[in-house]
């Protein structure tokens, strides 16, 4: 694979074409000012008055007018079809963390592909954000500063066991598996600490808990 196309000492905002919202983009840019568009996500970026630092993807959904408006040195065409544009972007960004939006709206198959990429921990630590949720792959261990009653959903994408403090229903000793027991709709009783014995767990929090998710991503 070619070397990283985007290198940033701060966070990167990544926008896709899956029904992104301008308010999500604006919020992400406050914490992650470098802006990357995945293929047709650039149509939204330019329409909202932003110029992306880089556009990455197979470019099959990029509007011709948008492409003509972009400086050529900001376009990185990746022709292979073995990965999604989301994965193409993550694997070509070198940054402490990524906030990605516009990948969970629109088509369900695209959303499922995006969370699969998250679970495989491709690229830097990444959170998917939309109007309702923040979704990110659980680190081996993390602490989340959450208000009591905050929804904490744990969705395994592979067999995982873990330990917890601060959850209404602790996960200690449970075998979590996408084909068996999952951990949706748990609740924080206050600060939550989590640890897992293997990769593959997704943490899903309400959108208001973005600061807690950011802290976990930054380690």
pLDDT digits (tens, 9 = 90+) for 10-44: 999 999 999 999 999 999 999 999 999 999 999 99
Q: Are residues 127 and 161 in the same domain?
A: no
Q: What is the CATH number of the domain that holds 38?
A: 3.40.50.10240
Residue 172 pLDDT exceeds 60: yes
Indicate if 212 and 155 belong to the same structural domain.
yes
Question: Distance between CA 55 and CA 211 in Å, rounded?
Answer: 27
Residue 84: what pLDDT?
94
Same domain, 90 and 45: yes
- The verdict on residue 1 lying in a domain is no
Closest CA to 215 of 146, 118, 114: 146
- Could you give the CA distance from residue 69 to residue 89 in angstroms, rounded to a whole number? 21
Residues 11 and 94 in one domain: yes
pLDDT at residue 1 tops 60? no
116 and 145 assigned to the same domain: no
Give the pair of three-digit tokens for residue 110: 């695209």
pLDDT tens by residue, 113-133: 999 999 999 999 999 999 999
Q: Domain total for the chain?
A: 2
Question: Region 71-86: what's the mean pLDDT?
Answer: 92
Band the pLDDT of 3: cuts 50, 70, 90. Answer: low
Say yes or no: 84 and 159 in one domain: no
| Gap between the Cα atoms of 19 and 175, Å rounded | 35
Share of the chain above pLDDT 90, in %: 91
Answer yes or no: is pLDDT of 100 > 60: yes
pTM: 0.95
Domain boundary among 105, 131, 157: 131
Binned at pLDDT 50, 70 and 90, residue 76 comes out as very high
Domain of residue 41: give its range: 6-131
């Amino acid at each position: 694979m070619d070397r990283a196309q985007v290198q940033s000492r701060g966070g990167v905002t990544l926008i896709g074409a899956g029904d992104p919202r301008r308010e999500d983009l604006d919020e992400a840019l406050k914490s992650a000012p470098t802006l990357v568009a995945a293929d047709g996500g650039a149509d939204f970026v330019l329409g909202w008055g932003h110029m992306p630092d880089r556009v990455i993807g197979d470019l099959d959904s990029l509007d011709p007018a948008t492409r003509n408006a972009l400086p050529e040195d900001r376009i990185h065409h990746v022709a292979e079809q073995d990965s999604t544009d989301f994965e193409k972007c993550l694997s070509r960004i070198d940054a402490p963390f990524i906030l990605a939006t516009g990948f969970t709206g629109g088509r369900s198959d695209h959303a499922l592909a995006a969370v699969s990429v998250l679970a495989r921990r491709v690229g830097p630590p990444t959170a998917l954000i939309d109007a309702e949720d923040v979704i990110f792959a659980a680190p081996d261990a993390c602490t989340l500063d959450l208000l009591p009653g905050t929804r904490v959903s744990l969705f395994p994408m592979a067999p995982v066991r873990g330990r917890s403090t601060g959850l209404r229903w602790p996960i200690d000793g449970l075998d979590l598996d996408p084909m068996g027991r999952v951990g949706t709709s748990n609740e924080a009783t206050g600060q939550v600490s989590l640890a897992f014995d293997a990769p593959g767990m997704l943490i899903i929090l309400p959108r208001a808990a973005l600061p807690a998710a950011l802290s976990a991503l930054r380690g």
